[in-house]
């Protein structure tokens, strides 16, 4: 399927109606990779209209027909992994290996939801009235708008898209303007896999006016949003007037509790891999390291030693483990947080500044900081950068209370070999994803639930399909 890097609306690759364009930047070089259309609410209106036209046909196909297309798309993603990963690395900066991993998960999501779509079961309910038969059925919601963040240019889009399409919804994707090329490639693959015209649409452009159109256009049944609390709140404000359904996957501030009985060197190695993945720009990134005082100093030294061997650079180079941050502005924010910590009397054990040897690109050194208190800014706000702050703890219950003392509730981690401690921590942490001796608690086949301000709704797993289905009760009178 021939395509260009454009919007896809009503079965055609299109420029923006207003003719505006946007330069997609490589964050490792600060150079323009490509110019793409940059539309607004009017492009979104056309896309919603197209998706609305396609909805009756797509929602009435059988889940088996939808499954065949979604599985074919998964196969194409796996076949073209190298080229797809390169696009994702170019626009997001992440190392190629991580970009490949992200596409592998996207393929898993399409394949898994291709199957799960077949299990949109209803049920028959025994009625209290002998003259009535009650059944409960599930129905595709309609047109879904999908607004996503740049940190996982394909995973964020695929997680909502695979479930929505498997459920029988049609879609208008609005990827981050910082990383639209990856999503454009995904749409091209879906079309090549046999997706009927108009079922998938993609707009790139001005976020507020596109979101307004999605909220105010009654033909858009739901918005899935992955991004910040700030924008999540704006969408909730808008939806309070239109009653548009919302799924919100928002930020995190994950605590990590490390107990003294662990294999310290192994946990330090794992911590470095998990923390500096995607330069820390991960919603489930381990952030607040609470380390038992008996091993805190040794752990800090070990983590700093392992992190000092990380190679910072362009994600296209095979030796790179840590790429740039997404924009200069975002790097400034991370830098300011580290400077604030310096002012709070902490000790920068490693990094803490822009690398002297890289004069282009939005790089920031892998940073390890100790001597903080749980009240420090680096503990209270999501860092979203390559910074690993550590505080020592003495008492398990006090550490759990500090870990829970946040408005975020996405991921949390604990490392211990004591089963009783593990069980207590797992039960008491107020987070949707808890990794016990595991740095990756998220899975395609399990839900991804953000507690507190980390979100509303659950993507992936069986719960992820339900996000795109409405429930209907059919009551049939059968006489007496």
- Please give the residue ranges that form the binding site for ligand NAD (CB under 6 A): 147-152, 156, 176-177, 207-208, 211, 226-228, 231, 234, 249-252, 283, 382, 384, 410, 450, 455
CA dihedral 348, 350, 354, 359 (to 10 degrees): 160
- Please, which residue, 252 or 435, has the CB nearer to ligand NAD? 252
Cα 128 to chain center, whole Å?
A: 45
Number of H helices, E strands in the chain: 15, 24
The least CB distance from residue 325 to ligand NAD, in Å, is 11
Residue 249 is among the residues annotated as catalytic for this protein: yes
The least CB distance from residue 120 to ligand NAD, in Å, is 23
The least CB distance from residue 220 to ligand NAD, in Å, is 13
93-98-104 Cα angle (round to 5) = 125
DSSP 80: T
The least CB distance from residue 250 to ligand NAD, in Å, is 5
Burial 305-330, CB ≥16 within 10 A → b, else e: bbbeebebbbbbeeebbbbbbbbeeb
- Please, which residue, 167 or 183, has the CB nearer to ligand NAD? 183
- Please, which residue, 155 or 259, has the CB nearer to ligand NAD? 155
CA distances (Å), origin 311, targets 124, 276, 307, 317, 321: 58, 11, 9, 10, 5
The least CB distance from residue 235 to ligand NAD, in Å, is 6
- Segments in 173-292 forming alpha helices (H): 180-192, 207-216, 229-242, 264-276
- Please, which residue, 123 or 230, has the CB nearer to ligand NAD? 230
- Nearest CA to 219 among 168, 145, 159? 145
Name the token pair of 17.
Answer: 């109606």
The one catalytic residue in 283, 302, 335, 467 is 283
- Please, which residue, 285 or 300, has the CB nearer to ligand NAD? 285
The least CB distance from residue 448 to ligand NAD, in Å, is 6
User: Helix or strand or coil: residue 133?
Assistant: strand
CA distance 396 to 424: 9
Residue 206 is among the residues annotated as catalytic for this protein: no
At a CB cut-off of 8 Å and minimum separation 6, what does 206 contact? 38, 39, 40, 41
The one catalytic residue in 49, 206, 249, 302 is 249
- Please, which residue, 49 or 459, has the CB nearer to ligand NAD? 459
The least CB distance from residue 13 to ligand NAD, in Å, is 20
CA distance 399 to 392: 9
- Please, which residue, 112 or 384, has the CB nearer to ligand NAD? 384
Strand partners, 245: 222
Which residue in this structure is represented by tokens 């309609």? 142
Q: Catalytic residue numbers?
A: 249, 283
């Amino acid at each position: 399927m021939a395509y260009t890097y454009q919007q896809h609306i009503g079965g055609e690759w299109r420029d923006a109606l207003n003719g505006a364009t946007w330069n997609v930047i490589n964050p490792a070089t600060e150079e323009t990779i490509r110019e793409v259309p940059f539309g607004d609410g009017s492009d979104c209106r056309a896309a919603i209209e197209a998706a609305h036209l396609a909805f009756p046909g797509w929602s009435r196909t059988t889940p088996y027909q939808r499954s065949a297309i979604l599985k074919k798309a998964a196969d194409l993603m796996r076949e073209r992994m190298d080229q797809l990963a390169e696009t994702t690395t170019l626009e997001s900066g992440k190392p190629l290996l991580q970009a490949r991993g992200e596409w592998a998960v996207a393929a898993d999501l399409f394949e898994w939801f291709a199957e799960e779509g077949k299990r949109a079961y209803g049920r028959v309910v025994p009625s209290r009235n002998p003259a009535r038969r009650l059944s409960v059925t599930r129905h595709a919601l309609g047109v879904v708008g999908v607004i996503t963040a740049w940190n996982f240019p394909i995973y964020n889009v695929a997680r909502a898209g695979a479930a929505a399409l498997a459920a029988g919804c049609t879609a208008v994707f609005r990827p981050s303007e910082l990383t639209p090329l990856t999503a454009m490639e995904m749409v091209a693959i879906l079309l090549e896999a046999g997706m009927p015209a108009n079922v998938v649409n993609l707009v790139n452009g001005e976020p507020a006016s596109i979101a307004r159109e999605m909220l105010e256009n009654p033909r858009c049944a739901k918005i899935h949003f992955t991004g910040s609390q700030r924008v999540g709140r704006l969408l909730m404000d808008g939806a309070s007037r239109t009653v548009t359904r919302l799924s919100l996957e928002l930020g995190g501030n994950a605590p990590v509790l490390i107990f003294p009985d662990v294999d310290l060197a192994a946990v330090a190695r794992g911590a470095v891999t998990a923390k500096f993945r995607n330069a820390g720009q991960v919603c489930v990134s381990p952030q607040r390291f609470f380390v038992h005082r008996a091993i805190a100093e040794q752990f800090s030294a070990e983590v700093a030693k392992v992190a000092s061997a990380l190679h910072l650079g362009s994600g296209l180079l095979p030796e790179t483990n840590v790429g740039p941050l997404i924009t200069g502005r975002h790097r400034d924010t991370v830098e300011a947080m580290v400077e604030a910590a310096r002012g709070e009397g902490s000790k920068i054990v490693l990094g803490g500044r822009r690398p002297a040897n890289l004069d282009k690109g939005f790089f920031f050194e892998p940073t390890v900081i100790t001597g903080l208190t749980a009240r420090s800014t680096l503990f209270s706000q999501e860092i979203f950068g390559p910074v690993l702050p550590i505080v020592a703890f003495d008492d398990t219950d006090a550490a759990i209370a500090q870990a829970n003392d946040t408005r975020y509730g996405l991921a949390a981690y604990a490392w211990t070999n004591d089963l009783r401690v593990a069980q207590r921590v797992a039960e008491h942490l107020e987070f949707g994803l808890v990794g016990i001796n595991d740095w990756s608690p998220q899975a395609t086949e399990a839900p991804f639930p953000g507690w507190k301000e980390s979100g509303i709704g659950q993507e992936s797993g069986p719960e992820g399909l339900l996000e795109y289905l409405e429930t209907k009760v059919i009551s049939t009178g059968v006489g007496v």
